[in-house]
């Protein structure tokens, strides 16, 4: 069964790249036969003609050469033209097949879009569930934020300095805030608070977050980070989805010492183009978003300078992998801190 143009595989790339054919086509065979017949006729003429007529002069030789070879040239010009026309016709058929395939793909996409629209109620239910979960998390964060103003919910002292079981209360100097008598946060607790709780069951994360919110300096950074993370989530940008390139601790230390620009460019390890574009676009159009971003950058700069003085290289490496640090990398790159 002969192969039709629709049966041949579609060759992607240059439109005129038709598959090569082996052997002679029917047009070539006809051209060869006509050429041989013409040569036979010419040979027969010169063989059977009167010797007087075969006497060749200077001008008659040129004319006879034209008579011999011009028809052959015309035969092959016609053959090549016919082959070109046939190739163009087959190419047009292949292009038609490609157009039909694209049309079919478009129809399939339209059907898929219609199915997605039909499934919209279920998607909306899922979004409502996510929003409800986010509201619960925000409620929990608000509870821990307000705990620093609630004496009954104050953080208990460590066992080494806790009051005796008899119920004796420690004597406080008149006018001394109770928070000044609390032990300072540890580095590990501060790093854990910068990463925020992973879920509603992350008790250790909420404990460290509560400690950070009870500390004046740490609370400023945590609240600023919470604000920008909430604003980024409105555009579908989540720190867990970002995988930044790690920078060496000495680069972070140069940032803490006040260096800016290309010397600390390694800190801008966020490579997600869509997140960078969405963040940059909103900073240009949303004044509230822009103010929150700059406030967060200032608080991170101030807090990290204090943190770096006592932090080890391992502490800095762990801090750089927190959600707060990733937000700093994203906003720092958009704001040009690393340029």
Q: Which residues of 94-125 are buried (b: 16+ CB within 10 A; e: fewer)?
A: beeeeeeeeeeeeeeeeeeeeeeeeeeeeeee
Do residues 199 and 328 both lie within one domain?
Answer: yes
Task: Examine the pLDDT at 222 and tell me if it is beyond 90.
Answer: yes
Integer distance in angstroms from the first to the last C-alpha of the chain?
67
pLDDT band of 152, cuts 50, 70, 90: very low
Task: Examine the pLDDT at 161 and tell me if it is beyond 50.
Answer: no
Do residues 111 and 218 both lie within one domain?
Answer: no
Do residues 283 and 139 both lie within one domain?
Answer: yes
Region 92-99 average pLDDT:
84
Do residues 270 and 131 both lie within one domain?
Answer: yes
Where is pLDDT greater, at 32 or 116? 32
Do residues 207 and 71 both lie within one domain?
Answer: no
Where is pLDDT greater, at 39 or 232? 232
Do residues 226 and 327 both lie within one domain?
Answer: yes
Q: By C-alpha distance, which of 226, 196, 180, 217 is closest to 307?
A: 217
Domain annotation covers residue 227: yes
| DSSP for residue 22 | -
Do residues 131 and 74 both lie within one domain?
Answer: no
Do residues 201 and 111 both lie within one domain?
Answer: no
Domain holding 88, by residue range, is 26-118
DSSP secondary structure letters along 273-329: HHHHHHHHHHHHH-HHHHHHHHHHHHHHHHHHHHHHTT--HHHHHHHTTSHHHHHHH
Domain annotation covers residue 11: no
Question: Is the Cβ–Cβ distance between 260 and 284 less than 8 Å?
Answer: no
Number of domains in the chain: 2
Region 111-130 average pLDDT:
60
Give 107-147 as a 3 state SS string: HHHHHHHHHHHHCHHHHHHHHHHHHHHHHHHHHHHHHHHHH
Do residues 143 and 30 both lie within one domain?
Answer: no
What is the number of other CB atoms lying within 10 angstroms of the CB of residue 58?
6
Note the pLDDT tens digit of each residue in 267-320. Answer: 888 888 899 999 999 999 999 999 999 999 999 999 999 899 888 999 999 998
pTM: 0.48
């Amino acid at each position: 069964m002969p192969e039709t143009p629709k049966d041949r595989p579609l060759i992607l790339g240059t439109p005129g790249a038709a598959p090569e054919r082996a052997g002679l086509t029917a047009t070539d065979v006809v051209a060869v036969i006509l050429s041989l017949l013409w040569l036979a006729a010419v040979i027969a003429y010169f063989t059977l003609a009167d010797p007087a007529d075969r006497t060749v002069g200077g001008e008659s030789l040129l004319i006879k050469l034209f008579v011999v070879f011009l028809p052959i040239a015309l035969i092959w010009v016609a053959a090549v033209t016919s082959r070109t026309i046939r190739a163009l016709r087959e190419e047009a058929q292949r292009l038609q097949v490609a157009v039909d395939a694209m049309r079919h793909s478009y129809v399939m996409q339209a059907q898929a879009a219609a199915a997605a629209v039909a499934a919209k109620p279920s998607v909306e239910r899922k979004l409502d569930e996510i929003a409800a979960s986010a509201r619960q998390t925000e409620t929990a964060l608000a509870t821990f934020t307000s705990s620093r103003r609630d004496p009954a919910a104050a953080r208990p002292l460590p066992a080494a300095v806790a009051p005796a079981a008899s119920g004796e209360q420690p004597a406080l100097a008149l006018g001394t805030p109770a928070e000044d008598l609390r032990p300072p946060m540890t580095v590990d607790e501060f790093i854990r608070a910068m990463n925020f709780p992973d879920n509603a069951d992350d008790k250790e994360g909420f404990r460290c977050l509560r400690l950070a919110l009870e500390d004046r300096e740490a609370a400023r950074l945590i609240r600023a980070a919470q604000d920008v993370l909430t604003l980024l989530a409105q555009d579908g940008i989540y720190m867990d989805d970002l995988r930044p390139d790690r920078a060496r601790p000495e680069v972070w230390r140069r940032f803490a010492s006040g260096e800016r620009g290309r010397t600390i460019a390694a800190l801008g390890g966020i490579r997600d183009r869509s997140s960078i574009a969405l963040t940059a676009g909103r900073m240009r159009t949303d004044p509230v978003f822009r103010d929150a971003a700059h406030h967060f950058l200032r608080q991170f700069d101030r807090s990290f300078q204090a943190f770096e003085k006592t932090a080890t290289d391992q502490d800095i490496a762990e801090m750089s992998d927190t959600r707060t640090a990733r937000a700093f990398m994203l906003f720092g790159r958009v704001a040009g801190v690393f340029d």
